[in-house]
Amino acid sequence: MAVVEDLSSVDPIVLNVRRCAWFLFGTTASIGIASYAMHLVTMAADTDSIATLDVGDEVSIGTWFETLLFIAAAGVLFFAGRQGERRPRQGVFGWYSLAIIMILLSIDESASLHERFGDVLEDVVETGGFLHYIWVVPGTIFVIAVLAGHFGWLRALPPSTRNGMVLGGAVFVIGAVGLEILAAPLAEAGEDESLTVVSLIAVEEFLEMAGLSIFIVAVLTHLRGHQDKIAVI
């Protein structure tokens, strides 16, 4: 097995940020539209929904793609951290800690851990109304803790990078937490299969995937000016 001693001689992997953005947002939109259209058709035909296309289902293309987005986000964050190690003025704490968080969230997404945790909480805490999905409470606390812990680091980032990452995170949280809260009273009333709930879930999952896509593009754009083994153009 050949060992490359001079890493500078290794050909970089070239990533075109614009093409990556088109792929991410195009795939996100396609998955969201396919899921919503499927629900409209199955409702009109009075048949069962197709789990593979249902973005709200644990075993679906949407869940698979969102898991990949978390992993991709972790990858670009890790690479940004490696770049930061070569530039002492740029703190690496945030890049690596967020990469770890993204990996943990990918596990949560694929295994629906937050929903299982919510089921446990429901046995010990009275829930109802907008807090029918009680996991949104610890979820919101987690978001605030992550933001507070990275506040200083975010302020030190270039404005365009910081704004893109914060925008992506905000869009994701609005979908994951905000839309979940809005759908909660309807789900509690047994309207899980209603067009309103289906629409809210479709928008929720779309915002989650769109938020992650915005986040990834923001980090890739940041890396575009710090090329190394992976050339970002």
Q: Residues 212, 173: contact at Cβ < 8 Å?
A: no
| Helix or strand holding residue 155 (H, E) | helix 151-155
Phi, psi angle pair for 230, to nearest 5°: -105, 115
pTM metric for this prediction: 0.87
Question: Does residue 4 sit within a domain?
Answer: no
CA 197-215-82 angle, to 5 degrees, is: 145
Residues 6+ apart with CB under 8 A from 213: 21, 24, 25, 28, 69, 168
Question: Does residue 82 sit within a domain?
Answer: yes
Question: Does residue 178 sit within a domain?
Answer: yes
Type of residue at 114: H
pLDDT at residue 230 in the model: 52
Distance from C-alpha of 187 to C-alpha of 42, rounded to nearest angstrom: 19
- If you compute the radius of gyration of the chain from its CA atoms, what whole number of angstroms results? 20
Q: Residues 35, 54: contact at Cβ < 8 Å?
A: yes
Q: How many domains does the chain have?
A: 1
Question: Does residue 233 sit within a domain?
Answer: no
Q: Give me the domain span that covers residue 209.
A: 15-228
Q: Residues 35, 55: contact at Cβ < 8 Å?
A: yes
Tell how far CA 97 is from the center of its chain. Answer: 16
pLDDT at residue 89 in the model: 53
Phi, psi angle pair for 14, to nearest 5°: -95, 125
Type of residue at 38: M
Question: Does residue 7 sit within a domain?
Answer: no
pLDDT at residue 133 in the model: 82
Q: Residues 61, 53: contact at Cβ < 8 Å?
A: yes
What are the DSSP calls for 99-148, one per residue? HHHHHHHHHHHHHTHHHHHHHHHHTTS---GGGSSTTHHHHHHHHHHHHH
Question: Does residue 219 sit within a domain?
Answer: yes
Secondary structure letter of residue 60 according to DSSP: S
Strand, helix or coil for residue 228: coil
Question: Does residue 141 sit within a domain?
Answer: yes
Mean pLDDT by 10 residues, the chain (233 residues): 44 76 95 92 87 86 95 94 67 90 93 78 76 85 95 92 96 93 84 83 94 96 66 51
Distance from C-alpha of 184 to C-alpha of 155, rounded to nearest angstrom: 35
Q: Residues 220, 23: contact at Cβ < 8 Å?
A: no
Of 105, 229, 84, 103, the C-alpha closest to 161 is 84
Question: Does residue 47 sit within a domain?
Answer: yes
